[in-house]
Amino acid sequence: MAEWRILGQLTDASNVTLLVESGGRRHVYKPVRGERRLWDFPDGTLARREVAAYEVSRRLGWQVIPPTRWVDDAPMGPGSIQEWVEHSGDAVAVFPAGRVPGDWLPVLEAVDGNDTPLVVAHADTPALRRLALFDLVVNNTDRKGGHVLSPRAGAVAGIDNGLCFHAEPKVRTVLWGFAGQPVADDLLSDLRMARDDLPDLLSGLDDDEKSALVERIDEIVLSKTFPHPAGGPVIPWPPI
Ligand SMILES: Nc1ncnc2c1ncn2[C@@H]1O[C@H](COP(=O)(O)OP(=O)(O)O)[C@@H](O)[C@H]1O
Ligand SMILES: [Mg+2]
């Protein structure tokens, strides 16, 4: 049995989310028992979705989700554990209107409490493109700026992936800056190669969720384009 040391609870979390040390490394442990009830996702499934998100990233070879696995034998019972990522630099940020760096992509205009116009924007890097496409594939309904960590130059780490894989379209992300752009051929070929294996790799998803995943992949492979947001809420709140 692995030694577990609970270092603390992450207070900005909406579920019970613990920082733990195991095998000499820091991890984020999300026990199923600590999951908050949600109206749109079945109870007790978020930690499974965290693991499934990592499995998709791994099968695609995109390296956009920190290693995440299922644990049965943990202090608060079964759940997910994800490697802790040291964060440096932002890939998503808020700028005063007119001050978005030239190589960043604006996503949302807003005003602050003093009526100052602001713009939410994200960087344009190959890693962020992979994460944005990944979120469309897994139907991520909660890709806030704070859930996009940048461990080092050229890399991104998407965290908090429990709200993915719903069978109905629900994408909410701040990474809409690529909408309408073509998807690179190497990413399309990764999707084609993973398509048939993915459903069997993902435990904890139901058959409708698995079929919807394959349909989303097929749509992207056919359109070869980052889609524009559909109707309904398409940006998570708060966006950062
Ligand atoms: N793998 C990770 N590496 C670094 N920080 C993390 C990681 N996972 C979560 N965090 C931090 O912990 C906070 C809460 O985790 P999160 O996954 O958002 O929990 P919840 O599902 O409860 O919202 C995050 O906002 C982030 O600051
Ligand atoms: Mg969160």
Q: How far apart are CA 142 and CA 29, in angstroms?
A: 19
Q: Are 179 and 226 in contact (CB under 8 A)?
A: yes
Tallying the residues shown for the chain, one arrives at 240
- Outline where 15-170 has alpha helix (H): 46-60, 126-138
Ligand nearest to the CA of 163: 1
Give the per-residue pLDDT at 2.
67
Average pLDDT score over residue span 148-175: 95
Average pLDDT score over residue span 34-62: 96
Average pLDDT score over residue span 33-38: 94
**Ligand 2 centroid, distance to 2 Cα (angstroms):** 26
Q: How far apart are CA 160 and CA 147, in angstroms?
A: 6
Q: Are 66 and 83 in contact (CB under 8 A)?
A: yes
Average pLDDT score over residue span 48-60: 98
Which comes out higher in pLDDT, residue 233 or 209?
Answer: 209
Give the per-residue pLDDT at 1.
44
Q: How far apart are CA 108 and CA 2, in angstroms?
A: 45
Q: How far apart are CA 138 and CA 141, in angstroms?
A: 9
**Ligand 1 centroid, distance to 176 Cα (angstroms):** 22
Share of the chain above pLDDT 70, in %: 99
Share of the chain above pLDDT 90, in %: 81
Give the per-residue pLDDT at 14.
78
Give the per-residue pLDDT at 23.
84
Rounded to two decimals, what is the model's pTM? 0.96
- 35: its two tokens: 């999951």
Query: In a mutational test of the pocket of ligand 1, which residue from 7, 9, 12, 41 has the highest number of ligand atoms less than 8 Å from its CB?
Result: 12
CA distances from residue 9 to 17, 27, 193, 230 in whole angstroms, order as listed? 6, 12, 39, 36
**Ligand 2 centroid, distance to 160 Cα (angstroms):** 5
Average pLDDT score over residue span 54-83: 96
The radius of gyration computed from the CA coordinates of the chain, to the nearest angstrom, equals 18
Q: How far apart are CA 106 and CA 88, in angstroms?
A: 21
Tens-digit pLDDT profile for residues 128-160 = 999 999 999 999 999 999 999 999 888 999 999
Give the per-residue pLDDT at 44.
95
Ligand nearest to the CA of 88: 1
Give the SS3 label for residue 133.
helix
- 84 secondary structure, DSSP code: -
- 112: its two tokens: 């602050």
Whether 115 is in the pocket of ligand 1, judged by its Cβ within 6 Å, is no
Q: How far apart are CA 227 and CA 176, in angstroms?
A: 9
Ligand nearest to the CA of 236: 2
User: What is the identity of the amino acid at 32?
Assistant: V
**Ligand 2 centroid, distance to 14 Cα (angstroms):** 6
Average pLDDT score over residue span 218-238: 91
CA distances from residue 235 to 3, 72, 121 in whole angstroms, order as listed? 39, 34, 12
Q: How far apart are CA 203 and CA 132, in angstroms?
A: 23
Give the SS3 label for residue 132.
helix
* Confidence grade of residue 188 (pLDDT, cut at 50, 70, 90): very high
